[in-house]
Structure 1
Amino acid sequence: MHLILYSKPECHLCEGLQEKLAQILSTHQELSLEVRDITLQEDWWQAYQYEVPVLFLHSDDGRSLLLPRPSPRATVSQIQQMLQKYVNHHEAE
């Protein structure tokens, strides 16, 4: 499974989520994270300029799932529980 985080420079919400995801991924080798700067591609900018951070879960078979944005106050544990729920659901489909 692969996470894609759409982000932009100087976005404190993006930076906070990325830090929490890094903590989670350091102990969960089955997940990887790719951070995409929306200022680098016009289509990303148009899609997410008012929505970042945006997080997608991608499976190896090409399926993609938009995850709900966690609260900036969510703990690492809460985000980990949310991810586990969606990973399990995505694998079951």
Structure 2
Amino acid sequence: MVQLILYSKPGCHLCEGLQEKLEQIDDFPLAIEIRDITTRPEWFQAYQYEVPVLCRKIDGADGPREEPLPRPSPRASVGQVKQMLQKYFPSGDSQ
């Protein structure tokens, strides 16, 4: 299962668009955690000008960590977003 984190904020059309596309991918094992950057000052500070930010969640020996992924174009289709994910997760597994 590919574990993703989407840093987002309310009213962000780019964030909503990417979330909708990710949710439409039904034949690729995804678990998506949506994080509203307005709920934590450290998230807001880090991502206020960058959202949407998509990260892969990695459970390592030293504990969980995050690795940012390239942001897909807002014009990317659901298929193109899926293709991008398959490039980074060829087996559909985050580990």
**TM score, norm. by length of structure 2:** 0.84
The residue aligned with 1:74 is 76
> 1:63 offset after TM fit, Å?
5.0
Segments of 5+ residues of structure 1 without an aligned counterpart are none
The residue aligned with 2:38 is 39
> 1:48 offset after TM fit, Å?
0.1
User: Take 1:47 and 1:63, find their aligned partners in 2: how far apart are those partners?
Assistant: 16
User: Take 2:56 and 2:66, find their aligned partners in 1: how far apart are those partners?
Assistant: 6
1:57 aligns with 2:56: yes
Task: Compare the two structures and name the one with the higher helix fraction.
Answer: 1
User: Take 2:65 and 2:40, find their aligned partners in 1: how far apart are those partners?
Assistant: 22
Task: Compare the two structures and name the one with the higher strand fraction.
Answer: 2
The residue aligned with 1:10 is 11
User: Take 1:59 and 1:23, find their aligned partners in 2: how far apart are those partners?
Assistant: 23
* Aligned-pair identity (%): 62
> 1:85 offset after TM fit, Å?
0.5
User: Take 1:57 and 1:88, find their aligned partners in 2: how far apart are those partners?
Assistant: 14
**TM score, norm. by length of structure 1:** 0.86
Aligned residues: 90
